[in-house]
């Protein structure tokens, strides 16, 4: 049995620009982070005396004798590619809810590829793991996904990604630990209770990339994201981050259609009226987790302002996807 631990993703700058339709025509930089909240996957080969060959446990429990009968798309295709036809059992659990804007689908893919490779004694580095997961989701599952979620899960910590038509180049972004702690102290995550399919919002954004009348919006988004990345190097205050992030958020609300969702608008209004310098929803759109740029002294006031049950302190992971248990 092998057990992997894989961090979820927190996006800072570069969201909506990490789709192939954009970065293959416009050189792009993205900065994101792995969160200190994880999904865990155990993989083991099972004996032949069971009346099934494959068992997958997540929010459902599936048992199947044929790979084609497995319903979970990622699990099915990863088993097809990496199991070497051995019967296997996969179990998944996570610290945070899935389908909520934290890159849980890509964390699942990265962690399971890592575990399945480990059980076959075919270990790879974090860059190869990230790129393999990107290729798998885009070209095997044919999903509309960007490239930052997989990199955040494979690397952990703070990550800078450079992408263009030639290649995708993720690497750790080295930063003063005191500044990282400052950011952690002045960020707050909340969850509105909505689990959604990110493909709907992602398709809206990708469709917008090819619309000529929206090109200026994407160029402005790229300019603002570049400023934001520079803020990390300059160790700027949360006030500067919040000011730029708010402009980015307002553009994205137009691109993904979320500006017409009353609940999202109310959470933004209520939290910003109570001390958040900028509140934005994470992921492609549609609800889920949101992040507040806010002084730590305002966190309790913000929590009391919105009817949200789940609040999460922001902590960055120290490592990316890794095997934490091995028993052969």
What mean pLDDT do residues 124-128 have?
97
Give pLDDT tens digits for 27-79.
999 999 999 999 999 999 998 889 999 999 999 999 999 999 999 999 999 99
Domains observed in the chain: 2-176+317-326 (3.30.230.10), 177-313 (3.30.70.890)
CB under 8 Å to 165, separation ≥6 — which residues?
A: 23, 24, 25
Q: Determine which of 22-26, 111-115, 191-195, 269-273 has the lowest per-residue pLDDT on average.
A: 191-195
Instruction: Show the beta-strand stretches assigned E in the chain.
Output: 2-13, 28-45, 54-57, 61-64, 88-94, 158-163, 168-172, 187-191, 278-281, 289-293, 310-313, 322-326
Global pTM reads 0.95
Give pLDDT tens digits for 83-119.
999 999 999 999 999 889 999 999 999 999 999 999 9
What mean pLDDT do residues 5-31 have?
96
Residue 61 DSSP one-character state: E
Strand partners, 293: 187, 278
Task: Tell me which residue of 41, 15, 248 sits closest to 152, measured CA to CA.
Answer: 15
Bridge-based pairing of strands 54-57 and 88-94 is parallel
Please state, in angstroms and rounded to a whole number, the distance separating the CA atoms of residues 57 and 174: 37
């Amino acid at each position: 049995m092998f057990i992997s631990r894989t961090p979820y993703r927190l996006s800072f700058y570069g969201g909506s620009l990490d789709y192939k339709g954009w970065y293959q025509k416009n050189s792009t930089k993205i900065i994101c982070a792995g969160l200190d909240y994880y999904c865990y996957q155990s993989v083991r080969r099972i004996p032949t005396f069971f009346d099934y060959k494959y068992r997958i446990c997540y929010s459902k429990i599936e048992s199947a004798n044929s790979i084609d009968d497995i319903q979970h798309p990622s699990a099915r295709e990863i088993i097809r590619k990496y199991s070497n036809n051995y019967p296997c059992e996969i179990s998944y659990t996570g610290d945070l809810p899935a389908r909520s804007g934290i890159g849980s689908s890509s964390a699942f893919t990265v962690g399971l590829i890592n575990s399945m490779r480990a059980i076959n004694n075919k270990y790879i580095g974090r860059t190869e793991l990230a790129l393999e997961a990107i290729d798998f989701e885009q070209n095997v599952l044919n999903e509309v996904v960007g490239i930052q979620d997989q990199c955040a899960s494979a690397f952990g910590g703070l990550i800078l990604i450079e992408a263009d038509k030639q290649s995708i180049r993720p690497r750790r972004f080295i930063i003063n630990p005191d500044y990282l702690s400052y950011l952690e102290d002045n960020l707050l995550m909340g969850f509105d209770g909505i689990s959604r399919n990110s493909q709907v919002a992602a398709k809206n954004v990708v469709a917008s990339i090819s619309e000529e009348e929206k090109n200026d919006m994407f160029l402005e988004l790229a300019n603002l994201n570049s400023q934001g990345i520079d803020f990390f190097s300059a160790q700027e205050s949360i006030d500067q981050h919040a000011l730029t992030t708010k402009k980015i958020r307002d553009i994205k609300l137009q691109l993904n259609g979320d500006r017409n969702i009353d609940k999202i608008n109310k959470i933004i209004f209520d939290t910003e009226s109570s001390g958040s310098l900028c509140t934005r929803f994470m992921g492609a759109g549609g609800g889920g987790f949101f992040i507040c740029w806010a002084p730590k002294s305002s966190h309790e006031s913000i929590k009391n302002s919105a009817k949200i049950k789940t609040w999460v302190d922001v902590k960055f992971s120290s490592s990316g996807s890794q095997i934490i248990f091995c028993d052969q």
